[in-house]
Amino acid sequence: MKFDANYKSLKYAHVKTTLFILVISLFFARGCGFIGNIGETVYHISLNGHNVGTLKGDSDVEKLLLRARKNVASATDELMFMEMELVIDEKKALWGDVDTEEDVLLRMESVVAEAVQESTLHRAYTMKINEYIINVPKLDDVRQILQTAVSKYDPENQFKVELVLDNLREFNVLTTNIVEQVEEEPVTMQGTNFEAGIQSFMSGLTGEVEEEPKDEMGFEDFDLGISDIDFVEEVEVVEVYLPPSQLTGLEEAIEKVTKEQESAAIYEVKTGDTLYEIAINLNITIDKIVEMNSNLLKNSESTLHVGDKLYITIPEPELSVKRTQTQYYEEIYDAEVQYIDNDEWYTTKQEVRQQPSSGFRKVVVEESYVNDDEVTRTILKEEVLKEAVAKIVERGTKVPPTYIRPLTGGRLTSKFGYRNRPTAGASSNHAGVDLATPTGTTIKASSGGKVTHAGWASGYGYLVTIKHPDGNETRYGHLSKVLVSVGQTVKQGQTIAKSGNTGISTGPHLHFEIRVNGTPVDPFKYIK
């Protein structure tokens, strides 16, 4: 097939026409247009990594960004700290996509608003309760948290929590003031004491009018209910600006502030205390007390001593409420226990001389509470319908002797109580504890007393027995050498013997016993 010159000219003209039409179409396409002179400048603009459009070179891009920031800022009263990264790519072009300034402005506002959402500091309120701090979005949230704490103990909503400015502080700090909500009654002539007014007038003319003696207040004369309520802790509230991540919602804040949390405390053991009574009074389990005081208590049967300090946990809210209230009761009551001190007895001994019986009475009392715990109770009026009989207890005043470990070191090889016989002739009901130690180890008196045995004692081998002032007895067996004699008085910690391997024994050790009223007990319950 042959192509002549005319065909080639025709084809070339067709291509030129097609290209011309294409260029014209691009000029008139939407979003595109002739920019101006050949090689005119255009700006491709991005904000915080987002493409926000293209403008002609005579546009003021930074001024446009400033407008976008102002527009977004005017929509909120929060503090905004925005990091804006503006990139302007300057190019020469004949044609291309060109946006209006309004379109670019709208896109800029969208990017700015997104940045604001992430970095805006919101007006909020920090509530400080002693050392505890919580942040909430609104002042009304603060009021509701405080009112919830009070309402728990004020079911009739008599009292209202107010936030007042502390004028003694250099900065604006709000504190709390709890006031009684009183409904004002209209003043009328009805109910006024007209006779009292006449009597007052007449007394001015003739002298003092003799007043009738007032009868004692009856039960019905007392104003019952809460007379005063306040927070135990100091509450301070300040306005702050914080990011949303540091704010706590209302329900969660109420939970954190008013719900009881376990806090550590120390309880000092008093005369007559038992683990059971302490656990009941402090609302804590005996096992928990033992667990927290493993250095002092072995188990729930461990002996307490006056003055012992127990670590405990007490459930308390971050914000505690104290209140005073007057109440009327018809109640069964018990008379206070009466004690007869006996200076010849130890404090571990007491005997009941008179059994108690409960009485019945009508009373008006003034009570003070911290949360649900009664702190004081004062009887304002009492009418006894049946007299209570007091319990009378005779108790010892002498501090009983203490017991210490009879040697330094020593490995426990046999506990107190039932065991498999370690060797022929040994007891399966072990009356003490065995502490393995090399022969010749110094043995000391666990407590002071009088030596009642010092010599050979069959299966014990060489044995020392000491009688103590509280009536208890300690025994030290399998000794290699006895260093005291019968009738000798020894002090606590005094050297009395050397350990050994005599009698029925499987190796060098000390057999140590404590006997109470002649009965063997676990020595580790008595050793401090």
Distance CA 454, CA 466 (A): 9
Question: Residue 443: which residues within 8 A CB-CB, separation 6 or more?
Answer: 406, 407, 464, 476, 479, 495, 496, 497, 498, 499, 510
Least confident of 296-310, 350-364, 369-383: 296-310
Decide which of 311 and 485 is more confident.
485
pLDDT of residue 225: 94
Question: Residue 524: which residues within 8 A CB-CB, separation 6 or more?
Answer: 298, 416, 433
Decide which of 389 and 17 is more confident.
389
Distance CA 316, CA 314 (A): 6
pLDDT of residue 457: 92
pLDDT at 24 over 80: no
pLDDT of residue 442: 97
- Tens of pLDDT, residues 70-124: 888 787 665 566 678 889 888 887 666 788 989 999 998 888 887 776 566 788 9
Six-digit token string for 495: 């050297």
Of the pLDDT bands very low, low, confident and very high (cuts 50, 70, 90), residue 485 is very high
Question: Residue 406: which residues within 8 A CB-CB, separation 6 or more?
Answer: 443, 444, 445, 446, 474, 476, 510, 512
pTM: 0.53
Cβ–Cβ contacts within 10 Å for residue 152, how many? 13
Decide which of 209 and 373 is more confident.
373
- Tens of pLDDT, residues 376-392: 999 999 999 999 999 99
The mean pLDDT of 422-443, rounded to a whole number, is 83
- Tens of pLDDT, residues 242-298: 888 899 999 999 999 999 877 778 888 887 788 888 888 877 888 889 988 988 888
Least confident of 152-166, 259-273, 315-329, 374-388: 259-273
Cβ-count burial of 445 within 10 angstroms (0-12 exposed, 13-18 middle, 19+ buried)? buried
DSSP-assigned states of every residue in 479-507:
EEEE---TT-EE-TT-EEEEEB--SS-SS
Least confident of 77-91, 182-196, 360-374, 415-429: 182-196
Average pLDDT of the chain, as a whole number: 84
pLDDT of residue 28: 46
pLDDT at 462 over 60: yes
The mean pLDDT of 360-385, rounded to a whole number, is 94
pLDDT of residue 202: 43
- Count Cα neighbours of 256 within 13 Å in the Cβ-side half-sphere: 15
Six-digit token string for 292: 């927290």
